[in-house]
Amino acid sequence: MLKVSLIVAGGGSGQRFRKALKARGGRMAAPTKIFAELAGKPVLIRSLDAMRKVSEIGEIVLAVPKDQIRISRMLLKKHGHGGVKIVAGGKTRALSVLQALKRTAGSARSVLVHDGARPLIDPEAVRKLIRGAQGADGAILASPLTGTVKQIRPGSMEIEKTVDRRFLFSAETPQLANRSFLLRAYKTVADAELATDESSLLEAAGGRVKVVTHEGWNPKITDYKDLELAEAYWTRGQGAETRTGFGRDIHRLSEGRRLILGGTVIAHDKGCLGHSDGDALLHAVTDALLGAAGMGDIGEWYSDKDPKFKNADSSKLLLGIVKQAALRGWRPVHADTVIHLEKPKLSPFKAAIRAKIAGLLGLPVEAVSVKAKTMEGLGPVGEGLAVSCDALVTLQRI
């Protein structure tokens, strides 16, 4: 049987989206929305992961703005989608789809077109769509309208009538089209470049297009609220696996060294002795992360015999481990820390330390806690000879 070609539309830049997302601690690998992370993976990759489960799909062509081709290629490769063809999109969604359509195999009878920004697509719904399109020129995935719909008189806010919603459906993607019919529609339909979906083109060219409904939730991510809702939905559905690790570190305090805790310089007459910058707090956090991911301890990664790490910036060491954990499928979701230090008082520094750790772990500050305690004069910490730090880090499966 001839396979179906899949086109993924990956346009739509999002300056405002990016700003709102950053303010909330979210991450985005590139300026377009499809690269915003949903539970640790770009939205586009989530969409492709779902589509890969549909065995009827023989090839995938992605259309992205020209300046996004490089980053797209890199991310696709990183997430195991190296086989996806990438083309430069056009000025409108319809023109982008046309560029991709021209690159699909001429032997494919049908093409599916999907928004890269619909990551929750259920592979079973895609199969149902392919089956449902038989005997027609195309078919779309859609949901029945559930609200009551009012139509107003043009130019006023006065209701003309209540529309019978039994006959109304909200169009989604993927949409399936007979390949040659769609190519023809691009040539014959006036203003084809302005069509907001493929079905409109088929309809305007006189095609028969069916509506196929499904039970899932298939939202298009258009602003950060959609992303947060989708993430909550995804995480709940996955029952995301989490693991917590513990780390502890103690460093001797000595004159002539800077006191650095949580990547933050603390004004004091003594600092931490150590091969690196002696940041006991970041070492505890790093060990907690390593513990949660089952990756050994900090000494195995960064030997204190290695001259490379002499006076090393512990922020960089921690970032390296965050990256390694991500490669193994884990991302931080929470960190709790305690600093035991007799002097000086840490209250003026706690907010800066918290923000720094949050930044290093890629978390909102709300997900990081920094507590400071003295030892009431007891033991080496109490006598001002050392600083000791504890940390818990929780990771979630990406």
Output the smallest distance, CB 385 to Mg ion, in A.
Answer: 15
Residues 6+ apart with CB under 8 A from 68: 10, 30, 31, 32
Q: In terms of CB distance, is 113 or 284 closer to Mg ion? A: 284
Q: In terms of CB distance, is 175 or 276 closer to Mg ion? A: 276
Output the smallest distance, CB 283 to Mg ion, in A.
Answer: 4
3-class secondary structure for 220-232?
CCCCHHHHHHHHH
Please give the residues from 222 up to 281 whose contact with Mg ion meets the rule CB under 5 A: 249
Q: In terms of CB distance, is 200 or 315 closer to Mg ion? A: 315
Q: Contacts with Mg ion: how many residues (CB under 5 A)?
A: 2
Read off φ and ψ for residue 45, nearest 5 degrees.
-65, -40
Q: In terms of CB distance, is 325 or 389 closer to Mg ion? A: 389
Among 93, 214, 283, 356, binds Mg ion (CB under 5 A): 283
Read off φ and ψ for residue 257, nearest 5 degrees.
-120, 150
Query: What ranges in the chain are assigned the alpha helix state H?
Result: 15-23, 43-52, 69-78, 93-103, 123-132, 179-188, 198-204, 224-238, 280-293, 298-301, 314-327, 350-361, 379-382
Output the smallest distance, CB 228 to Mg ion, in A.
Answer: 37
- Per rule CB under 5 A, is residue 354 in the interface with Mg ion? no
Amino acid at residue number 47? S
User: Site mask, Mg ion, residues 160-179, x = CB under 5 A?
Assistant: --------------------
The residue whose Cβ lies closest to Mg ion is: 283
Cβ atoms of 397 and 242 within 8 Å: the answer is yes
Residues 6+ apart with CB under 8 A from 312: 275, 276, 277, 302
Q: In terms of CB distance, is 9 or 392 closer to Mg ion? A: 392
In the three-class reduction of DSSP (H, G, I as helix; E, B as strand; rest coil), residue 314 is classed as: helix
Dihedral-angle region of residue 388 (phi above 0 means left; psi in -120 to 50 means alpha; beta otherwise): beta
Output the smallest distance, CB 233 to Mg ion, in A.
Answer: 41
Output the smallest distance, CB 274 to Mg ion, in A.
Answer: 6
Q: In terms of CB distance, is 198 or 287 closer to Mg ion? A: 287
Output the smallest distance, CB 93 to Mg ion, in A.
Answer: 53
The residue ranges that bind Mg ion (CB under 5 A) are 249, 283
